[in-house]
Amino acid sequence: MTDNDQVVALPVWKRIAFALVPLGVLIVVLEGGVRLLLWDRPALQTLELPEERAGLIQPDRELFWALKPDTHAIWRDTRISVNHAGTRGAEIEPRQPRELRILSLGESTTFGSAVNDEETYSAQLEVLLQTIYPDRRVTVINAGVPAYSSFQSLKFLEQRGFALEPDVVLFYHEVNDYLPTSLRDSSNNEIGIVKTDRQLYESRTQGLHRAFMDWSAVYRWLSYAVANARIRKFDRPDADNPLPTIGLPGYALPSRLAAAGKSGETAGHNDKALGRRVSEEERRVNLERLAELCREHSVKLVILHPSYRDSTRHECLLTRVTAERGIPTLDVYQPLHPENVPAGSMYRDAWHPSPEGHASIAQYVTAFLLQHRLIPVPGR
């Protein structure tokens, strides 16, 4: 090497840039290849909920799904009206002075599957209370949504419910918390199948994860691959059915999973092995958080302990938590299973009360609210 031959050192930023060029090319090639081969598509998809097929619900980024606002339909021979706020029933008017306002949260029973708008227990409760308080407006808002879990209703209350200015919150949740993660709307795929409702919500609200899922085919491909590997690992034919723990017989749980894009073909998984939508610990957290939020907003809380056609009276996590926390709780087993009355007359099917069943719930709730002074003394 002569004196004229000198090694010119490149600036650090240029060396880094030159080193990153091959990596960038590799990423572009991988992204293009994965997109071209369609590897970034989910392999599994949950079957549509019946209300989804009927156009009554729509996707919701945070709540997973919600009632479709401004919907009026006849479905399964029942009149269904969803107001502009996305709750069932008439439009919600601005709150008046001295108005008594109750917010009903819950799943398909609260929503009123298989009954008309005016036959739900929320609508009948409003009529009963209005006769007791003729000098003030009474509004009972039915925010029940089919297939909702306690976590979804808790999030609804946090994000939208308190804005409705309720004096009392009624909370009706049990069986959906114990059902598999396949009981969701058709936006659910293998990523959701390996997560509880809370875990799925947290993943969807994490900005970085959501951005990568939206923009990177490679990230989507890896996420789906990991989820499918987890499903194969815990998909056991001998998995337990959790329903007997809440006083229900071990119903067969039909598969709600299909190959993505092939809704008529079930995927062959044992749904009982997929895990619950709400774990036992998460259910406790949901109930405790619910009570805490209502206290913070000076709203009275009443837990309705659900009952279904074949239910038996039982103690469970819900009854333990409400007893520990002193939360007013009404077991609807009695209004839905009155003595010397066939259970079939109080139910449309195994899960949903008939109009007579809803009327019985409304009557018991009215008496409970008055007895425990959770609403004003009439005439004052």
Exposed (0-12), middle (13-18) or buried (19+): which is 259, by Cβ within 10 Å? middle
* pLDDT at residue 260 in the model: 83
Residue 65 carries which side chain, given as an amino acid letter?
Answer: W
Give the pLDDT score at 10.
63
Q: What is the pLDDT of residue 346?
A: 95
Of 225, 244, 274, which closes a domain? Answer: 274
Kindly report the CATH number assigned to the domain that includes residue 70: 3.40.50.1110
Can you list the residues of the chain whose pLDDT is less than 50?
1
Residues linked to residue 262 through DSSP beta bridges, in sequence order: 259
* pTM (two decimals): 0.90
199 assigned to some structural domain: yes
On whether both 108 and 254 belong to a single domain, the answer is: no
pLDDT for residue 249:
87
263 and 309, same domain (yes or no): no
What is the pLDDT at residue 364?
Answer: 98
Boundary (domain end) residue, out of 259, 274, 289: 274
Q: Which domain covers residue 241, as residue numbers? A: 189-274
pLDDT, tens digit (0-9, with 9 covering 90-100), for 257-281? 888 876 566 667 777 778 899 999 9
Question: Considering its fold, how many domains does the chain have in total?
Answer: 2
23 lies in a domain?
Answer: no
Task: Specify the residue for token string 């009982």.
Answer: 272
